Structure 1
Amino acid sequence: MSTKEAATTIDVPESSSVPRGKASIIAAAKHGGKAGGYHRGVAIFDFLLRLAALISALAAAATMGTSDETLPFFTQFFQFQASYDDLPTFQFFVIAMGIVGGYLVLSLPFSIVCIVRPQAAAPRFLLLVLDIQFGDFCQKVSGAVVAGFVAVLMFVVLVILSAVALRRH
């Protein structure tokens, strides 16, 4: 071997001499550096959805809980007062949204664990089981809300129809 060849030779240690901590880095490099990338992305999306649902639930509860209006009926002495606590359905809505918000606050740490350890199955399974307990309730409530919006649209059509009928007289 000439002196030129000896100067460019690089010594590579045996694979058995690689420390244990570096073995996971080497394994990640073999898989294109994507060890847990998909699972971490799903976990981050899960966290963001939980955060958005928490904000939405608390906004819905706060909006309903602070709704109050007084309208004069014929004269100032006869007034119609409406508040969320006049109807048990609205009270239930505020309480249910509070419970959903509380559940979402308690589930956020488990969602963070899924981000930090994307390969961990236990926290993800726990979130799955706990999320399923609200499934039937959410489907029924969603149907009720849609039916309520349909009723509101029908009232809008009725008001417009009455206004048009009065205008023609």
Structure 2
Amino acid sequence: MSTSEAATVIPIYDPAVAGKAPATSAAAPAATAPRKFPIPFFRRSDRGSRCVAFLDFLLRIAAFGPTLAAAIATGTSDETLSVFTQFLQFRARFDDFPAFLFFMVANAITAGYLVLSLPFSAAVVLRPQTTGLRLLLLVCDLIMVAMLTAAASAAAAIVDLAHNGNLRANWVPICMQFHGFCKRTSGSVVGSFIAVLILMFLVILGAFAIRKR
């Protein structure tokens, strides 16, 4: 046989070798991956933002009470004083003072806004990563703070004039006669300023949440 011819290798079947499976390295057990929730409500990174949003929701409910009470108390401020006879009467009514009329309307608008803003605030609690709703609420809160502060300040000036009068202008204090009227309007002003403080805290809270995002 010539050396140039290639040698032919015939495989021989060996049952002893075939019965043995090739040694393979044992597969390492797969590490258990941490459970992830597809819903963003359960993300731990949003826990702090959700707490801030929930506090925002509660403060809106807290501010609704004083504004509604101030609007109702001012709108029902009406007292008639009889002097000597029933034919000579003096009457004090909230719409006799433009400042009180503006005060009542501003409180009513703010109370309505706070009710309408609750669904948006609840949506922010469920999805705290939403920045657009936070910005919308922040702008509206700023408008309400400005309007309510102006109305409460104007009403406070009239209440002070009603209690103390003005000697230089010869304006006597009417609260010496109209006790019920002054009591209702004074309580309304106090409640409105409480709502102003809550709204200011809402603005600070909203700005902090947006800056954090």
* 1:75 CA displacement: 2.4
* Unaligned stretches of 5+ residues in structure 1: 1-10, 29-34, 163-169
Of the candidates 70, 74, 88, which is equivalent to residue 78 of structure 1? 88
2:31 aligned residue? 14
**2:124–2:130 contact (8 Å) kept in structure 1:** yes
Residue type matched to 2:164 in 1?
M
For 1:125-144, what aligned pairs fall within 5 Å after superposition?
A: 125-144=135-154
Partner of 2:66: 56
Match for 1:99 among 109, 125, 136? 109
How far apart in 2 are the matches of 1:84 and 1:146?
Answer: 13
Deviation, structure 1 residue 22: 7.2
* Counterpart pick for 1:69 among 49, 60, 79: 79
Percent identical pairs in the alignment equals 40
Q: 1:111 to 1:93 in 2, by over 3 A?
A: same
**Separation of aligned partners in 2, 1:50 and 1:98:** 14
TM-score, with normalisation over the residues of structure 1?
0.66
Aligned partner of residue 72 in structure 1, secondary structure: strand
Question: Is the CA contact (8 Å cut-off) linking 2:79 and 2:92 kept in structure 1?
Answer: yes
Q: 1:104 Cα deviation (Å)?
A: 1.1
Return closer, same or farther for 1:27/1:82 CA change in 2, 3 Å cut-off: closer
**Pair 27,140 (structure 1): closer, same or farther in 2 beyond 3 Å:** closer
1:44 to 1:152, Cα distance in 2 relative to 1, 3 A: farther
2:62 counterpart of 1:46: no
| SS at 2:37 equivalent | helix
Q: Where does the alignment leave 5 or more consecutive residues of structure 2 unmatched? A: 1-27, 166-171, 177-213
Larger Cα-atom Rg: 2
